[in-house]
Amino acid sequence: MNRPQLYGWLVVGLCFLALSLAFSARSVLGLTMPFLEADLGSSRSFVSTGGAIALVLMAVIAPVAGNLVDRFGPRILLSAGLVAVGIGMVLTAGVTEPWQFILAFSVVAGLGFGVAATHVVSTVVSLQFERNRGLAVGIATSGSTAGQLLVIPLLASVLATTGWRWSYLALGLASLALIPVVLVLIRRQRSGDAAAASRQAAEPLGRRLSFLWRSPVFHLLFWSFTICGFTTSGVIETHLLPYAAACGFPPLASATAYGVLSAVNLGGMMLAGYLADRVNRPLLLGAIYILRGLSFILLMFVANDLSLLFIFAVAFGLFDYSTLPVTASLVASHLGLRIMGLAMGFLSAGHSLGAAAGAFLGGYLFDLFARYSWVWVASVILAIIAGLLVFAIRETRDRTAVALAGAE
C-alpha cells in the first residue's frame, strides 16, 4: 500500500471517530428524554421539539458546510463541527431551564451536528479514493452508528449511577479532545481526479445550484433521502428508547437492544458500501428502503416481548444507515465529484428536515394518543415510497468497471 492510500485510510479512521462522537451526542437525547422531562418540568413534546429544532438547524447548515468542503477542504470544517458539538454538550449538562436546553443542545450542538456529519465525511472520503470508494465511504460513515454500539449502553449505566448530566458532559469533553488530532493529521492532500474536481468546484455557486435543480437524479435522491431521515433519525433515534420504556422495558435492556441495532447497522453500512462498488446501485438502494419499511411492522407487535424488540433491532439495523454509502456513490457518479459536497449537503438537509418531522410527529402523537402506532404505519408507507423513487434511477456505471471491482 503506497503513501497516498495509507493517508486515505487515515482520513477514513479520523472521520469514523468524529462521526462516532457526533452521532452518540445526537442519540443520547432519546435515552435521557424522560430525565430531561422530569428535571426541566417539560413535556415530551417540548423535548422532542428541541430535538427537531436541532435537526432543522442541521438542515440549514448542511448545504453551506457541503459547499465549503468543495471549496476549502475538510480540516477546518470537521474541527469547527467538533468544537460546536463539544461546547453544546458541556453546556447542556448544566441546564436548569427549558430555554437553556434549546440554546445549548438545539442551537449550539445542533450547529455542530450539521457540520461534523455524514455529508461532509462522505465527500471527504470520496475525494480520497478512486477504487473501493463505496467501501471506504461505508467504513467512514459507519462511525455514525459504531460509537453508539458501546456509548449508548455505557451511558445507560451512567444514568443508573450518576445521572443524565454526566452523560452529556462526557460526550462534550471527548468531542473537544479529538479536535487537536484532526487539526494535526488531516491535510488537503488529494488524488489527481479529486484535485481536478476541487478546481472545478470553484465555478459560480449559481451555476452549480442550477445544475442540481435541473437534475432528475438529484430530485429522486433528495426526496428518498428526506424520507430516509424521517424513518431513521426522526422516529427511531428519537423515539425508539422512549417507546421501549412505554412498553415496560428497563433502560439497560432497551439500551442494549439499541446497541445491537447499532452493531448490525455497522455491518450493514460496510456491506452496502462493498456492494455499491459491485452491483446495480439503484436496485440495491431501493431494496434497502423497502426492507427497512417492512421491518417497522415488527414494532407494532413488540408490547412486552423483549425478544421481539431485539429481533427488530437486528432487522432494522441491517437497513438503517446502509443507504448512505450507496447514495454517496450515486451522487459521485451521476452528479460528479466537482459538486459532491454541495449535493450531499442538500441531501443531508432533506434528511434532517425529514428527521425533524419524524421527531416532532412522534412526540406530538404520543402526547395526543399515548401510543406510537400511527408513526410506525407512516414509516412503513414512506419507506416503500422512497424505494420506488430510487428504482427510477438508471445505473450508468460501466459493467466492465463493476466486474473489475468484483475481482479485486
Residue range of the domain that includes 116:
3-407
Q: What is the predicted pLDDT for the residue at 192?
A: 47
> Which of the two residues, 401 and 4, has the higher pLDDT score?
4
Distances in Å between the Cα of 335 and the Cα atoms of 213, 234, 324, 332 are: 11, 27, 16, 6
What's the average model confidence in pLDDT over 105-131?
Answer: 86
Please say if the pLDDT value at position 404 is more than 50: no
> Which positions ≥6 away from 91 have C-beta within 8 Å?
100, 103, 104, 108, 172
What's the average model confidence in pLDDT over 19-41?
Answer: 84
Q: Using one digit for the tens of pLDDT, what is the confidence trace for 330-373?
A: 998 899 888 888 899 899 889 888 988 888 888 887 777 777 88
What's the average model confidence in pLDDT over 141-154?
Answer: 74
> Which of the two residues, 75 and 326, has the higher pLDDT score?
326
Q: Cell 400511527 identifies what position?
A: 374
**Which of 71-80, 148-157, 192-201 is the least confident region?**
192-201
Structural domain count, the chain? 1
CA dist 363 and 49 (Å) reads: 8
Looking at residue 193, which CATH number applies to its domain? 1.20.1250.20
Q: What is the predicted pLDDT for the residue at 262?
A: 82
How large is the greatest C-alpha to C-alpha distance in the chain, in angstroms?
A: 62
Please say if the pLDDT value at position 188 is more than 60: no
Burial letters for 269-280: b for 16+ Cβ neighbours within 10 Å, e otherwise?
bbbbbbbbbbbb
What's the average model confidence in pLDDT over 186-213?
Answer: 65
CA dist 259 and 156 (Å) reads: 11
Average pLDDT, the chain: 84
